[in-house]
């Protein structure tokens, strides 16, 4: 049954609209219990229909799938479009969200172009009011040339007026057709030329001129229908024309958006000051070129504060219980056993790998903070502002994403550089990625800063990270200015919305990272601890006479420039396997003669604060772990570049360390 | 407007957000999201980061040490986008 121009008939009304406009609310309110739910014929898309009556008119509503346009980008949009065009309902009622008018007017624009009997439902007026927006329905009606009905469907407001408007349009009592938004002369000329290429009796189930415009927009479904209706040669000519003018979509779609923006601005007024959401307010600071970087540095500082104020006391307790307590218990349990065996277990296993494990609380805080910030949506903002910083230092485009990975571990940062297409930019990224302060290095920093700087530990750690980033910036700048030169390109980043953290996700991510660290301590670090113990125990009874002692003393001249003993240089060398081995090695080497004194105290006895801060700097900038070096070789496919990376890091780390040591001595830290 | 957006992206140095583009175009952020979606569909923009880096974390052996910010989507201009941008405005102007 269709409207026949007389009262008492049934009107078929298609309810169209973009997703999240309250279309279903309108439909539910109108049809209530009289709904029927099924599938569209031959499709897996849900089809909802329902009726309602007002006076002697029955309204048969078809709730179309949500669609942003009449271009069939999805099955839902194809279903909605085909119903409107092929089933020709008496009225198309399109729901638009008054609080997001610009996003919804595109579909209205296309429906006006199509020339269907149209009623616009201006829904969510209350939400718009709440956001300080006043959309003028009369002004919109004048701009569109079709009836506009303001509604708050959730409360049933405006629904009666809506039915009256639908009825008036359905029975031809109100204006329903408006002239379509103007198209440019260039597009009109293209449509004319295309019109001349297509036979006048083309058998397609779409309005001819509308279909020609859609062809120029690159609509595949329309192209398929036209291809089917044309001869092979006919289609070849049309297709060549379309390929030649494939940029026509920019003009056609762009003109619609211009109309949408203009119309929206004409009919929307702001009531008082713009209401800004909490997330938008946060973004104004967190993504600001200067404020964002300062906020990022503040966040890093806060993480360090938490690591030291909360994690260090727990680490010290664990050290007492796990390392010193276990060693004592072991020695009493193995009383009478060979000294070498007791030393192997107490110094090699417990003093090495066991000591590294005591840093789990500090690392857990770091991992928890990273996971929490990621889940909140902050890390994406941090990456965004980091890009600004990296741009200043000559890194281009996508480099910032892999480099950001380096905060966790340098290996994925190096492997992730493969997303950078340009070889020169990729090489720069690979070569500077190991300078990102990874979590393993932070463990070593935590040990030394807590031992030497007490309450200022967080500040010293933060300064060390800043020095690393400054060196990274300098290297990137030098490489991009003098070695690699690349084109600059623009990118668009979609930032995720802020949301309350999902603690399950956060804790799972933290647990996975902590578990990986424990596994590392139980495998690679344990193995190196045992090797270091063996090298420090043979030959002879004194560590100074051992292989390790001899090697260490050979390297001692280098250490003197930094105020470091041979044990420190040996510890640094073993960090090549994994950064945490620095602690394990010191635990083994110093533990053998340390008696009941803990490692932190022993460190303060063998070096001055100036040497400690120099050692941290060297450790932070030194050759990355062997896994990172292997990753550099794999990604560069070059031993030359791998050698360059190792070489420049050795030179820079010692140069910075020596400078820091000398400056720190001048500041009075050398006593 | 699509051409203006393309020109804005092409002219940028580094990353820009929807919010910045919206301010420069004088439209709302949701409209920019829609414009970007249209440019993606037409092949003028493409995802700049491999999906394996952004989305395929489940099977990644590096996931335990990875701190890539979740939810980041990065789009870049394609050759097609650059070509279209280089063509004079008004597509009927070329043969």
pLDDT in tens, A270-310: 877 766 778 888 888 998 888 888 898 888 888 888 887 88
CB spacing of B72 vs A218 below 8 angstroms: no
Yes or no: say if A537 and A343 are a contact pair by the CB < 8 Å rule: yes
Residue A652 binned pLDDT confidence (cut-offs 50, 70, 90): very high
pLDDT tens string A465-483:
889 888 988 888 888 777 7
Distance CA A364, CA A370 (A): 10
Q: What pLDDT is stored for residue A423 in this prediction?
A: 76
In the structure encoding, which two tokens stand for residue A158, read together? 């405006």
**Which CATH number does the domain housing residue B20 bear?**
1.10.10.10
pLDDT tens string A337-368:
777 787 788 777 887 777 778 888 888 888 88
Distances (CA, A) of A625 to A335, A414, A470, A551: 38, 12, 21, 20
Handedness of CA A525, A531, A535, A536 (dihedral sign): positive
Report, as an integer, the average pLDDT of A621-650.
88
Residue A121 has pLDDT above 90, yes or no: yes
Residue B93 has pLDDT above 50, yes or no: no
Distance CA A650, CA A639 (A): 16
Interchain CB contact of B7 with A (< 8 Å): no
Q: What pLDDT is stored for residue B54 in this prediction?
A: 41
Peptide bond into A96 cis (omega under 30): no
pLDDT tens string A436-451:
888 788 888 888 898 8
Compare A96 and A526 and report the one with higher pLDDT: A96
Interchain CB contact of B58 with A (< 8 Å): no
In the structure encoding, which two tokens stand for residue A355, read together? 């000591």
Q: What pLDDT is stored for residue A140 in this prediction?
A: 92
In this structure, is residue B18 part of a structural domain?
yes
CB spacing of B64 vs A375 below 8 angstroms: no
Domains and CATH numbers, chain A: 10-170 (3.40.50.300), 185-270 (1.10.287.1770), 291-666 (no CATH)
Q: What pLDDT is stored for residue A92 in this prediction?
A: 94
In this structure, is residue B95 part of a structural domain?
no
Residue A592 has pLDDT above 60, yes or no: no
Lookup result for tokens 């991510």: A509
Residues of B within 8 A of A285 (CB-CB) are: none
Average pLDDT, chain A: 83
Residue A73 binned pLDDT confidence (cut-offs 50, 70, 90): confident
Among the residue ranges A5-19, A175-189, A226-240, the one predicted with the least confidence is A175-189
In this structure, is residue B22 part of a structural domain?
yes
Compare A96 and A176 and report the one with higher pLDDT: A96
pLDDT tens string A501-518:
888 888 887 888 788 778
pLDDT tens string B47-68:
776 544 444 445 444 454 444 5
Distance CA B95, CA B93 (A): 7
Residue A237 has pLDDT above 60, yes or no: yes
**Enclosing domain of residue B60:** 2-89
- Give the ipTM: 0.80
Q: What pLDDT is stored for residue A187 in this prediction?
A: 83
In this structure, is residue B17 part of a structural domain?
yes
Pairing of strands A46-54, A57-63: antiparallel
Report, as an integer, the average pLDDT of A385-406.
70
CB spacing of A493 vs B92 below 8 angstroms: no
Q: What pLDDT is stored for residue B52 in this prediction?
A: 46
Residue A2 has pLDDT above 50, yes or no: no
* Cβ-Cβ contacts under 8 Å for A294 (sequence gap 6 or more): none
Residue A5 has pLDDT above 70, yes or no: no
Average pLDDT, chain B: 73
Residues of A within 8 A of B17 (CB-CB) are: 287, 384, 492-495
CB spacing of A401 vs B38 below 8 angstroms: no
In this structure, is residue B94 part of a structural domain?
no
Distance, CA of A68 to chain centre = 26
Closest among A466, A470, A463, A467 to A449, alpha carbons compared: A463
For chain B, the domain total comes to 1
Q: Please tell me which of the candidates B11, B21, B67 has its beta carbon nearest to residue A374.
A: B67
B56/chain A closest Cα distance in angstroms = 13
pLDDT tens string A409-438:
787 778 777 766 667 778 888 899 899 888
Torsions phi, psi of A63, nearest 5?
Answer: -80, 105
């Amino acid at each position: 049954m269709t409207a026949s121009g007389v009262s008492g008939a049934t009107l078929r009304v298609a309810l169209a609209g973009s997703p999240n406009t309250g279309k279903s609310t309108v439909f539910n309110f109108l049809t209530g219990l009289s709904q029927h739910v099924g599938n569209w014929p031959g499709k897996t898309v849900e089809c909802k229909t329902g009726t309602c009556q007002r006076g002697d008119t029955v309204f048969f509503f078809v709730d179309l799938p949500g669609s942003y346009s009449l271009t069939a980008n999805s099955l839902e949009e194809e279903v909605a479009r085909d119903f409107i065009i092929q089933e020709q309902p008496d009225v198309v009622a399109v729901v638009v969200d008054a609080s997001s008018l610009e996003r919804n007017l595109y579909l209205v624009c296309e429906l006006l172009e199509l020339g269907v009997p149209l009623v616009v439902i201006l829904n969510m007026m209350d939400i718009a009011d709440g956001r300080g927006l006043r959309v003028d329905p009369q002004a919109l009606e004048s701009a569109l040339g079709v009836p506009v009905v303001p509604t708050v469907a959730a409360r049933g407001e405006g629904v009666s007026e809506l039915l009256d408007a639908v009825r008036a349009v359905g029975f031809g009592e109100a204006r329903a057709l408006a002239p379509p938004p103007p198209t440019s002369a260039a597009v009109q000329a293209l449509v004319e030329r295309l019109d001349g290429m297509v036979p006048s009796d083309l058998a397609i189930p779409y309005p001819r001129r509308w279909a020609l415009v859609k062809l120029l927009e690159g609509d595949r479904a329309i192209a398929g229908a036209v291809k089917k209706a044309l001869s092979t040669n006919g289609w070849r000519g049309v297709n060549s024309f379309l390929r030649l003018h494939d940029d026509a979509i920019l003009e056609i779609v762009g003109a619609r958006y211009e109309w949408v923006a203009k119309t929206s601005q004409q009919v929307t007024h702001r009531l008082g000051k713009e209401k800004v959401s909490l997330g938008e307010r946060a973004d104004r600071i967190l993504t600001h070129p200067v404020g964002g970087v300062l906020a990022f540095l503040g966040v890093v500082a806060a993480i360090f504060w938490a690591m030291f104020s909360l994690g260090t006391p727990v680490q010290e307790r664990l050290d007492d219980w796990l390392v010193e307590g276990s060693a004592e218990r072991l020695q009493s349990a193995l009383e009478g056993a060979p000294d070498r065996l007791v030393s192997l277990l107490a110094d090699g296993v417990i003093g090495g790998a066991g000591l590294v494990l005591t840093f789990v609380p500090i690392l857990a805080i770091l991992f928890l903070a990273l996971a929490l910030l990621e889940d909140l949506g902050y890390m994406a903002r941090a990456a965004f502002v980091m890009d600004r910083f990296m741009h200043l230092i000559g890194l281009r485009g996508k480099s910032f994403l892999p480099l950001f990975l380096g905060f966790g571990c340098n290996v994925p940062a190096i492997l992730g550089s493969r997303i950078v297409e340009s070889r020169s930019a990729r090489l720069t990224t690979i070569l500077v990625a190991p300078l990102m302060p990874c979590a393993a290095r932070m463990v070593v920093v935590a040990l030394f800063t807590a031992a030497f700087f007490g309450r200022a530990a967080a500040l010293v750690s933060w300064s060390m990270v800043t020095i690393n980033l400054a060196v990274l910036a300098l290297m990137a700048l030098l490489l991009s200015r003098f070695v690699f030169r690349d084109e600059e390109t623009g990118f668009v980043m979609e930032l995720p919305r802020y949301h309350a953290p999902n603690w399950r996700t956060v804790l799972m991510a933290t647990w996975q990272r902590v578990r990986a660290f424990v596994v590392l301590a139980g495998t690679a670090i344990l193995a190196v601890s045992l090797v270091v113990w063996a090298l420090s125990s043979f030959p002879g009874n004194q560590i100074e006479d051992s292989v390790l002692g001899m090697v260490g003393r050979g390297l001692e001249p280098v250490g003197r420039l930094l105020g470091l003993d041979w044990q420190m240089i040996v510890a640094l060398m073993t960090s090549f396997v994994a950064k945490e081995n620095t602690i394990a090695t010191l635990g083994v080497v110093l533990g053998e003669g340390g008696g009941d004194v803990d490692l932190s105290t022993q460190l303060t006895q063998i070096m001055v604060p100036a040497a400690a801060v120099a050692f941290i700097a060297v450790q932070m900038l030194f050759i990355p772990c062997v896994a990172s070096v292997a990753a550099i070789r794999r990604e560069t496919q070059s031993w030359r570049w791998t050698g360059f990376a190792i070489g420049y890091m050795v030179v820079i780390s010692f140069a910075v360390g020596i400078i820091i040591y000398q400056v720190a001595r001048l500041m009075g830290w050398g006593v | 407007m699509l051409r203006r957006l393309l020109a804005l992206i092409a002219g940028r140095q580094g990353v820009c957000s929807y919010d910045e583009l919206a301010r420069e175009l004088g439209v709302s952020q949701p409209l920019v999201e829609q414009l970007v979606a249209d440019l993606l569909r037409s092949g003028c923009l493409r995802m700049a980061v491999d999906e394996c880096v952004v989305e395929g974390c489940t099977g990644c052996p590096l996931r335990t040490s990875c701190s890539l910010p979740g939810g980041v989507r990065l789009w870049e201009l394609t050759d097609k986008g650059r070509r279209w941008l280089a063509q004079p405005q008004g597509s009927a102007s070329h043969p």
